[in-house]
Chains A and B, each alone.
Chain A
Amino acid sequence: MTTRFFRKFFKTAFVGIIIDDDMCEVSVIIYKNKNRLSSETKKFQLQDGVSPTSLLSYMEQIYEENPYVYASTMLTSINQGAIPECSKDAFGKFQVDSRNIKSICIDGRWTVYTGKTDVESIDKKYEKLGGIDFVFSPMLILQRFFAKDILEGGTVMTALKSKSIICVAIFNGNRLLYASLMSVKTPESEKAAIKVDSSESAFEDFFDDDEVHELGEDGMVDLDDLSINLDDDSHMPVLSDNIEDEALKEATPTSRISLEEAGNDLKLADFIKESIGEFYKNQAYESSFIDKIFIADPNSQDSDTKMILENELMMSVEVRNIEISSMLCSMTTDEVQ
């Protein structure tokens, strides 16, 4: 109560932080007595998972300049999910162990949940950045981000594609019908392989039987995927580039990123397919024909996600650029005010 009163006279910063693999995105909106003073978003490259000094000093500056700071993040733990009911008994129905979980009933219609330890570990993860006040489920972010499209009617599949997780949620109006989540973190061994590969011919490496087999083992890429990609040069810019050695050497870092992105797109497509299959097959979920698929992609500008997904899923897909940290900021503002 007193905090609410004093906030009228002092600046309040709403900070959204998201550490996504090797990137940290920070959005800050500063308010004073409900008047928006400024907003900005900054991205920081992490060095081997360690926050750079620039990020630490930036966060320190935010805390120095604003007496009230509310920081939030998105839960990227794999131990989370959502079920289309609010009762506690429903957890058993969807094979969720309801012990030691934290759950929030959303609008009395559906529930998001996660492990208690996962929430606690968030505090430790963001301790150096000033700590965290709010932790939001990615499903909630999806609902908020595609709110307009969801409410327009029909059954809509939404997906959030980040470097660390892929989250899928199927909505019908205000109701959640299905939700699923997977981790897309590249195993260290695979990363090393990519790094080594990038020093050689990207074209040859991509078609290397071993690597294709390796990815296939994860269930993310199969030969069909590759054939689709090869049909259209524009889908895989790296592959369609000049294969001269010099050009390849210059393009090496970009190639590595593009390869990762392409891999992630394929993983996303595969996961969406799996999710659709599960949604239709599992009797626990209320079946409904999916009208459209919306993808929230933080790196949509330089990605061919839409094309890959449409070819893969044979459905209309709309890819929208999302700034997760900004969404978190806006959700934090609502949470506090």
Chain B
Amino acid sequence: MISYSFKKARPKSLFKKDTKFWLAFVGISVGILVGLQIALVIKSKMIMDNIKTTRIEKDNLIKKTEMTIEEYETLKEHVAYAASINNSDTVLRESMKNLFEIVPDKITLSKVEMTTTTLSIFGTTPSRDIFNLQFAPALKSIFTKSETSFVRGDSGNSRFISINYIEQKDDESTADTAVVEPKEALSSKERKSTGKKGH
């Protein structure tokens, strides 16, 4: 548009200077308030997020704790089981040791079978008498019932099989406990142990 004036029109504003000042003041105030509100909302949202994260972490930790407790319980059971195995092994070792200690030098064992209630001993003896005199009384003192059968061997020695029974009773006397205990340990696993003793 062609202007015929030596001067351009001053920029016009709908508001007067003081109105502009107040509007600017109100605007800045509102801006600050809105800014604060936004900051608060953001902060609150961050806190909420943190709470949510913490809650999730807490739940995870609870789960982990539960799992750890479960693992602990399992391990505890395992430890108890291991301890019981160890204990039974010790008892078994002791029983075997005791058994071998009562075997006379002249008798040779070729095989020992041990169950919860029975002990089967295979071996050779120079003579039946040696067995009956030196080994049978010891077995009879330990076991309830003891049955032995002999077979004459080629070299003059007799091969024998001695099956010894023990009666298991819940209200057994403490005297029998020493003998019974290794049998209980063995019963849990139905273990079959074999051993040889050569002299």
Contact = CB atoms under 8 A, between A and B. Distances in A.
Contact of B9 (A114, A119, A335): A335
B9 A104 contact: no
A68 B10 CA distance: 11
Interface in B1-34: 3-14
Interface string A148-175: 0000000000000000000000000000
Contact of B6 (A67, A68, A69, A102): A102
Interface string A199-239: 00000000000000000000000000000000000000000
B4 A140 contact: yes
A133 B5 CA distance: 9
Query: Which of B3, B10, B11 has most A Cβ within 10 Å?
Result: B10
A133 B4 contact: no
A267 B12 CA distance: 42
Contacts of A6: 14
Contacts of A75: 6
Nearest to A80: B6
B7 A335 contact: no
A131 B8 CA distance: 12
B7 A137 contact: no
A123 B9 CA distance: 12
Contacts, number: 51
Contacts of B7: 119, 122-123, 132-135
Chain A residues touching B, majority SS:
mixed
Give the interface residue-count category, chain A: 20 to 34
A72 B5 contact: yes
A145 interface: no
Nearest to A4: B12
Interface string B97-123: 000000000000000000000000000
Contacts of B5: 72, 104, 133-136, 335
Contact of B4 (A10, A131, A331): A331
A72 B13 CA distance: 18
A131 B6 contact: no
Interface string A96-112: 00000010101000001
Contacts of A196: none
Contacts of A131: 10
B9 A10 contact: no
Nearest to A70: B9
A3 B10 CA distance: 12
Contacts of B3: 104, 335
A325 to B, nearest CB: 15
Contacts of B13: 3
A335 B11 CA distance: 14
Contacts of B4: 104, 106, 136-137, 140, 331, 335
A336 interface: yes
B6 A119 contact: yes
B6 A136 contact: yes
Interface of A: 3, 6, 10, 67-70, 72, 75, 102, 104, 106, 112, 114, 119, 122-123, 131-137, 140, 331, 335-336
Given A112-B6, A122-B7, 11 more contacts: A68-B12, A68-B14, A102-B6, A119-B6, A133-B9, A133-B10, A134-B6, A136-B4, A136-B6, A335-B5, A336-B9
28 contacts: A3-B13, A6-B14, A67-B14, A68-B12, A68-B14, A69-B12, A70-B9, A70-B12, A72-B5, A104-B3, A104-B5, A106-B4, A119-B7, A123-B7, A133-B9, A133-B10, A134-B6, A134-B7, A134-B9, A135-B5, A135-B7, A136-B5, A137-B4, A137-B6, A140-B4, A331-B4, A335-B9, A336-B9
